[in-house]
Amino acid sequence: MTTISHLTCEYQTNPLGIDVLQPRLSWQLQSERRGARQTAYQILLAPSEAELDMDASLLWDSGKIQSDQSIHVPYGGPSLGSGQRVYWKVRVWDEAGEETESSSAWWEMGLLERNDWEAQWIGASFFGGPRTSSPSPYLRKEFTLQKELVTARLYATAIGLYECYLNGVRIGEALLTPGWTDYCKHIEYQVYDMTELLQQGPNAFGAILGDGWGVGHIAWVGRQRYADRPQFLAQIVLIYSDGSKEIIATDNTWKVTTGPILESDMLMGESYDARRELIGWDRAGYDDRRWWSAEVIADHDAALVATNGPTVKRQEALRPLKIRQIPDFVNPRWIFDMGQNMVGWVRLCVRGEKGRTVTIRYAETLNPDGTLYTTNLRTARNTDHYTLKGEGEEVWEPHFLFHGFRYVELLGFPGVPTEETIIGFVIHSEMPSTGMFECSDPLINQLQHNIVWGQKGNFVDVPTDCPQRDERLGWTGDAQVFIRTAAFNMNVASFFTKWARDLEDAQYPDGEYPAVAPNPSAWSIGDGGPAWADAGVIVPWTIYLCYGDVSLLEARYESMQRFIEFLSETSKNGLRCYAEYTGWHGFGDWLALDGSDGREGGTSKELIGTAFYAYSSRLLVNIARILGKEEDSIRYSDLSEKARHAFIQRFVREDGKIEGGTQTSYVLALEFELLPQELRHLAAAELVRNIRERDNHLSTGFVGTPYINAVLSKMGHLDTAYALLKQTTWPSWLYSVTQGATTIWERWDGWTHDKGFQDPSMNSFNHYAYGAVGAWMYAVTGGIDLDPDQPGYKHIIMHPLPGGGLTYATAELHSMYGMIRSAWRQENGAFDWQIMIPPNTSATIYVPAKDASHVTENGHPVEKVGGITFLRTQNGSAVFDVRAGSYSFSSQLDKTT
């Protein structure tokens, strides 16, 4: 029996308020049957759930389409209007011609036209001009419901941040809205269903504004990068049962004042004085005569766009593991260990006298004397203050910020705190968890844990480098190196779809992509440099590979073209000579330890630049072909080949040695397939020699590290790859794990026994870049990989390469088609492998075995089992094609395989 589940529209379940005009619909087939697949589908769409069963009321009937497409089927019905909600379901015919029908799902359009907005931007007039910090404005508006209500929607956005309330209740769960974009170009709005919150008669709507990215401190560039005060734009759309519509929109009839939030800044922290609370301000009947009228602010040119992806939400709560007092009679300090380097904040629970202030400080780690280590935060104060009102138990948490921390210090706490005093809330963009990796080595499992937590902490509306110091920028290089790993751990398709637009917004007119996006003038050089700027191509390409998403390639195509043209214009016969054109050399192999300054590594920047030029232009060849732009693909193929030749001529010797001889130079040459075939093995041998000379240690930075193990395993040096993975002294992935890390460190030597802390000006303990090895763990140790010719895991490559003494590994990936699973165990020469291939997909699998006759499935010789086709024997594996389903393979390995 086949059933249909996971109906999504633009990757989301029942999205409220999107502005994709032809949204793409996806579903998953569920079946235990081997070979289960879809042969045809039919999509039905109607204005209500009930009308889905009434032919005459359908808005769209796709008809029965003979196709196995079950992801990203574009809506093909009549155009939909602003606020229109539609319901849909799908019928599927399986390989036996059996028909099944899904339950229904819906999506609702947002506001599609600028003139759908009656609202005006408002703020507090008393806030203009340069300031070092500003109290949060509180806004309110009362209105009366006199007719029977059918639906109520809130459309809201801000420059700065907002939180909304209705009749005393917080609206929605989204945090740090409207998120971070280049507010001069795109401002995202969010949509909320308020129907249940409204009541007949008087209602009160309230909003609190924060500084956020729009007004508060960003990185090292100061405050007020986009506006000098927070601004709010919102309208409530009420639909009554008589068919009429009423809009309550922000304008100068709204009232504004300030209250208890004296300051709330992402980098500095929040100061809250509970004595100044405005009791009842968000309820009807509150006396706001002493409030000011809101100031109407001139409209912005930026496009108002819907949030088509995740918002930031509260995800987990952590209780402290330990509490310790720092002895001090006058000012006792209490240090809480949350047990995990996390991103979010703590909720404080306190009783005490009115006017007392509790100060909360945050840090990732401790000094040797047990005090908070905060020097690596640079100018970020990361300090919250709560002043008590003195009325019994007071529970408080900050509003418009996040901190990156494992340790929390309370100063001024009345009495002795307990485990109940604080609770840590972990926040990040809401991306469904899709991956799992586990193996027999606990240190590698902790590494996986650290990679996932690095992702949680740094995927906060934009992919940031780190969450704690005065930086937290959308570094393009970091995002690019980590995206493939990220796409195993969580569904990051919409998250990166949004950020790819941020990157285009940040692109310079001549095609350069900067090093950060959004770019709040933090990056003025223009070109972000090789491996950073290339995110503009690599990010859409990776989302295409992992999710089969062609729309993103289409949307960003023209921008990618401009970038490649920029590279071509600033190269000489394929060689990147950007320094000559722009004066900027790029970051090199950032933080590699084989250079002279400990920052930029020892690999030539022109080598890195030329390698990435060849690579990115080759990706654009593929992209042009996918989009049917054959002529373009010829041009990019020429550019790519030219760069490849330039690379060989300039950097490669006839014996396969590469100039400079760094690990990263070999890694790039091999991973990007720049070398003539006959030199590949020689180059790989050089790489291995280099690693051995360093006693199996890495000397790679951000650029080489993501690919090094993939190159080694591809080139037949699996032992060396595992030796690197299992290395516990630095530089290595497991060194920080052995030091108790719970996230990935920015630097291999963030802290060492002999030197202590690295340079505090750049020493984050939560930086995901080096976690990029995770993709290799899933794909090579775990055995789940994709086939670029059938992206989105439509066809799966399962080729686990056990090694490093591991006795088992399990990898899972919830793909667009459903759950892919690979779980192997190796003991006494026997290899047991359970795999799961979702309906409507197939896989090529590599069973470690001398040949097919050594392989059984569920105890039967494979040739007797239906659904399995033997392809070949290759390098110690029997290779088969298998159809969807669950399988249990065993093979007897003799000791030499």
The secondary structure element, H or E, covering residue 194 is none
**Pick 110 or 463: Cβ nearer ligand BGC:** 463
Cα(656)–Cα(654) distance, integer angstroms: 5
Annotated active-site residue 746? The verdict is yes
In whole angstroms, the minimum distance from the beta carbon of 471 to ligand BGC comes to 5
**Pick 747 or 799: Cβ nearer ligand BGC:** 747
Check binding of 364 to ligand BGC (CB under 6 A): no
Stretch that binds ligand BGC, among 32-40, 114-122, 441-449, 471-479 (CB under 6 A): 471-479
Stretch that binds ligand BGC, among 95-103, 394-402, 443-451, 469-477 (CB under 6 A): 469-477
Stretch that binds ligand BGC, among 196-204, 333-341, 473-481, 781-789 (CB under 6 A): 473-481
What is the CB neighbour count within 10 angstroms for residue 241? 9
Q: Among residues 11, 402, 475, 722, which is the contact residue for ligand BGC, using CB under 6 A?
A: 475
Stretch that binds ligand BGC, among 61-69, 240-248, 470-478, 535-543 (CB under 6 A): 470-478
In whole angstroms, the minimum distance from the beta carbon of 478 to ligand BGC comes to 5
**Count of all residues that appear for the chain in the document:** 897
DSSP label at residue 49: T
From the candidates 263, 397, 409, 746, give the one annotated as an active-site residue: 746
In whole angstroms, the minimum distance from the beta carbon of 204 to ligand BGC comes to 44
Contacts of 328 (CB under 8 A, 6+ apart): none
Cα(622)–Cα(632) distance, integer angstroms: 10
Report whether 357 contacts 412 (CB < 8 A): yes
Check binding of 396 to ligand BGC (CB under 6 A): no
Annotated active-site residue 812? The verdict is no
Report whether 474 contacts 515 (CB < 8 A): no
In whole angstroms, the minimum distance from the beta carbon of 767 to ligand BGC comes to 6
Helical H runs in 349-492? 442-458, 476-489
Q: Among residues 95, 465, 504, 671, which is the contact residue for ligand BGC, using CB under 6 A?
A: 465
In whole angstroms, the minimum distance from the beta carbon of 476 to ligand BGC comes to 8
In whole angstroms, the minimum distance from the beta carbon of 217 to ligand BGC comes to 16
Report whether 807 contacts 440 (CB < 8 A): yes
What is the CB neighbour count within 10 angstroms for residue 210? 29
Whole-angstrom CA distances from 831 to 519, 666, 797, 866, 894 are: 51, 33, 18, 21, 10
In whole angstroms, the minimum distance from the beta carbon of 752 to ligand BGC comes to 20
Stretch that binds ligand BGC, among 344-352, 463-471, 751-759, 864-872 (CB under 6 A): 463-471
**Pick 460 or 801: Cβ nearer ligand BGC:** 460
Check binding of 466 to ligand BGC (CB under 6 A): yes
**Pick 478 or 505: Cβ nearer ligand BGC:** 478
**Total chain residues near ligand BGC (CB under 6 A):** 10
Site string for ligand BGC, 738-767 (x = CB under 6 A): ------------------------x----x
**Pick 412 or 477: Cβ nearer ligand BGC:** 477
DSSP label at residue 326: E
**Phi, psi dihedral angles at 729 (to 5 degrees):** -100, 155
Closest CA to 629 of 694, 550, 733: 550
In whole angstroms, the minimum distance from the beta carbon of 533 to ligand BGC comes to 12
Three-state DSSP class for residue 303: strand
Burial (CB < 10 A; 0-12, 13-18, 19+), residue 569, is: exposed
Check binding of 478 to ligand BGC (CB under 6 A): yes
Cα(186)–Cα(180) distance, integer angstroms: 9
**Pick 539 or 762: Cβ nearer ligand BGC:** 762
Site string for ligand BGC, 765-804 (x = CB under 6 A): --x-------------------------------------
What is the CB neighbour count within 10 angstroms for residue 257? 17
**Pick 376 or 570: Cβ nearer ligand BGC:** 376
Closest CA to 800 of 831, 770, 772: 831
DSSP label at residue 528: -
**Phi, psi dihedral angles at 153 (to 5 degrees):** -125, 145
**Phi, psi dihedral angles at 581 (to 5 degrees):** -90, -40
In whole angstroms, the minimum distance from the beta carbon of 524 to ligand BGC comes to 14
Closest CA to 823 of 807, 815, 834, 838: 834
Per the listing, tokens 């609702």 go with 108
**Pick 281 or 475: Cβ nearer ligand BGC:** 475
Cα(869)–Cα(871) distance, integer angstroms: 6
Q: Among residues 254, 345, 544, 590, which is the contact residue for ligand BGC, using CB under 6 A?
A: 590
**Pick 384 or 600: Cβ nearer ligand BGC:** 600
Per the listing, tokens 């005060």 go with 229
In whole angstroms, the minimum distance from the beta carbon of 536 to ligand BGC comes to 15
Cα(183)–Cα(174) distance, integer angstroms: 19
Stretch that binds ligand BGC, among 229-237, 302-310, 475-483, 722-730 (CB under 6 A): 475-483
Check binding of 477 to ligand BGC (CB under 6 A): yes
**Pick 281 or 453: Cβ nearer ligand BGC:** 453
**Pick 459 or 833: Cβ nearer ligand BGC:** 459
Contacts of 628 (CB under 8 A, 6+ apart): none
Per the listing, tokens 């508006």 go with 141
Report whether 266 contacts 401 (CB < 8 A): yes
Check binding of 522 to ligand BGC (CB under 6 A): no
Query: Rounded to the nearest 10 degrees, what angle do helices 663-671 and 630-651 cross at?
Result: 150
Stretch that binds ligand BGC, among 101-109, 188-196, 465-473, 802-810 (CB under 6 A): 465-473
Cα atoms found within 13 Å of the Cα of residue 857, Cβ hemisphere only:
20
The dihedral region occupied by 285, where left means phi > 0, alpha psi between -120 and 50, and beta the remainder, is left
Cα(334)–Cα(417) distance, integer angstroms: 8
Residue whose CB is nearest to ligand BGC in the complex, by number: 465
Report whether 311 contacts 163 (CB < 8 A): no
Q: Strand pairing of 855-857 and 860-861?
A: antiparallel
Contacting ligand BGC within 327-356 (CB under 6 A): none
Check binding of 589 to ligand BGC (CB under 6 A): no
From the candidates 10, 471, 512, 686, give the one annotated as an active-site residue: 471
Check binding of 108 to ligand BGC (CB under 6 A): no
In whole angstroms, the minimum distance from the beta carbon of 63 to ligand BGC comes to 50
**Pick 507 or 763: Cβ nearer ligand BGC:** 763
In whole angstroms, the minimum distance from the beta carbon of 723 to ligand BGC comes to 27
Q: What is the largest CA-CA distance in the chain?
A: 87
Check binding of 471 to ligand BGC (CB under 6 A): yes
**Pick 642 or 767: Cβ nearer ligand BGC:** 767
In whole angstroms, the minimum distance from the beta carbon of 541 to ligand BGC comes to 20
Q: Catalytic site residues?
A: 471, 746
Residues lying near ligand BGC in the complex (CB under 6 A) are found at: 465-466, 471, 475, 477-478, 587, 590, 762, 767
